[in-house]
Amino acid sequence: MGNSENRIDSLLEAAIEKIQAHDISGALGKLMELVELDSQNVQAINLIASCYYVLGEFERSEVCWDNVLRIESANKIAILRLNSFRTPAFQFWLKRYNEALFDVENRNYKTAQNKLRELLEENDGFVSVYQMLGLCYMADKDEKKAIQVWRKGLELDTSNPILTSYLHKSEKTTLENQNQTKQKIVALPVEKSVSRRGNLVWVISGVLCLALCLQIGFSAKNMRTSNKMIEDMQVKIQFLSQIVNKDNTSLATNVVSGEDLHGVNNEEMSMAGSDYDTSREKYYYDTGYSAYVSKDWKTATSNLGMVVSMHTNSYLNREALYFLARTYYLTKNYSNAEKFYLEYLQKFPDSNYYDDSLYYLGCVYYYTGDKEKAIDMFQQLETFEPESGYISSELFKKVMN
């Protein structure tokens, strides 16, 4: 019995760590192992529901929360989540999402694109929306946008196998095209034929992927999808993806270096941003985020700061604001970190990094000696996200105890 309990605790701890690192698929695997050992563990089932929710498997998440209430009728987390899930506002969002999936299934890709983009503007926290939007772009021969969208989806679920597979195939295709160009193997009639065939392949892949999503949803009551079914579907998608062969065109981006904005005050930056063509917003974001990943903090703050100064309230603007705050936090510029975390919490209370911002703002206050504000932020985090992985962190325990 003791070994089983230790194993359950270990799996739960590992799952929470993965959720905290935005590895939703990895966390889900750990949690599935856990419920095999303890099918009545309401904490694990609540976390499974949250994972499905982020992945966009809404029927499965709803079934899990209902299961929790069958086990523990007064469970506050499940009640809160189901009440939020069943609000008219979210149900209307979900209705339009299903309409977009129907458009994808019927190959109305332009219509689906528009609907999915609108849905992202309202709620950018679901992997499946990025997945389907990327497929629509690919069907429309816009591989660059497809790749950008899939990479955004991977920020929500860093080990997502479907998105990883798509990106791997796209990168492989790009490399093959570059090699062909170097070898000067050019046959225009063949290239046109391949391009049309590549487009058709991604169309078929999109329909297969949709079928996969629907099958997962319809089998929700089992709480576990057939691994064989997933593997078979993925083999089909990967096989079709391999023959995609498209020219990879690059777009010139205007990169803002750290030196370019040296000495520019916030007011000047804001004025520049308000007058700047917002269609270039994504260029600055891509450059800033890439610099953030590679720890080029100066370039990251310059470019992300330019996006923030545009005040478009788009999902890129929201992402830039969070990563700008995060950059300042990592470089221990706590005054600016506080400023931008507060702005994020005020402007985007229902978006993806709200709990992260509460936690790191609490850390900012702790490191700057304001323990009362740190406690206040952590209390807000605990109320907002009782199952947050941050609650198990050493700093959270130290401050709250």
Q: Is the pLDDT of residue 38 over 80?
A: yes
The dihedral over CA atoms of 245, 246, 247, 248, expressed in degrees to the nearest 10, equals -100
Residue 384 contacts residue 360 (beta carbons within 8 Å) = no
The alpha carbon of 226 is separated from its chain's Cα centroid by a whole number of angstroms, namely: 25
Amino acid (1-letter code) at residue 183: Q
CA–CA distance from 132 to each of 76, 287, 330 (Å)? 33, 24, 33
Stated pTM of the model: 0.54
Question: Within 21-142, where are the H helices?
Answer: 24-37, 42-55, 58-71, 76-85, 88-105, 109-122, 127-139
Q: Is 299 helix (H, G, I), strand (E, B) or coil?
A: helix
Q: Report residue 334's pLDDT band, with 50, 70 and 90 as the boundaries.
A: very high
> Which of the four pLDDT bands, split at 50, 70 and 90, describes residue 101?
confident
Q: Report the C-alpha gap between 169 and 220 in whole angstroms.
A: 29
- The model's pLDDT over 218-234, given as tens digits with 9 standing for 90+, comes to 333 334 343 443 444 34
Phi first, then psi, for residue 247 (nearest 5°) are -70, 135
**Range(s) for CATH 1.25.40.10 in the chain?**
2-86, 89-241, 259-400
* CATH architecture of structural domain 259-400: Alpha Horseshoe (1.25)
How do residues 194-253 score in pLDDT, each as one tens digit?
A: 333 444 444 444 444 544 444 433 333 334 343 443 444 344 344 334 333 333 333 333
Helix (H) and strand (E) counts for the chain? 20, 0
Q: Which fold has domain 2-86?
A: 1.25.40
Q: What's the pLDDT at 67?
A: 92
Burial track 22-49 (b if 16+ CB lie within 10 A, e otherwise): bbbbbbbbbbbbbbeebeebbbbbbbbb
pLDDT value of residue 245: 33
pLDDT of residue 278: 57
CATH superfamily membership of 89-241: Tetratricopeptide repeat domain (1.25.40.10)
Q: How confident is the model at residue 183 (pLDDT cuts 50, 70, 90)?
A: low
Give the pLDDT band of residue 317 (cuts 50, 70, 90).
Answer: confident
**Rg (the chain; Cα; Å):** 23
CA atoms within 13 A on the CB side of 75: 23
Among the residues of 183-310, which ranges form H helices? 188-218, 227-241, 266-275, 281-293, 297-309
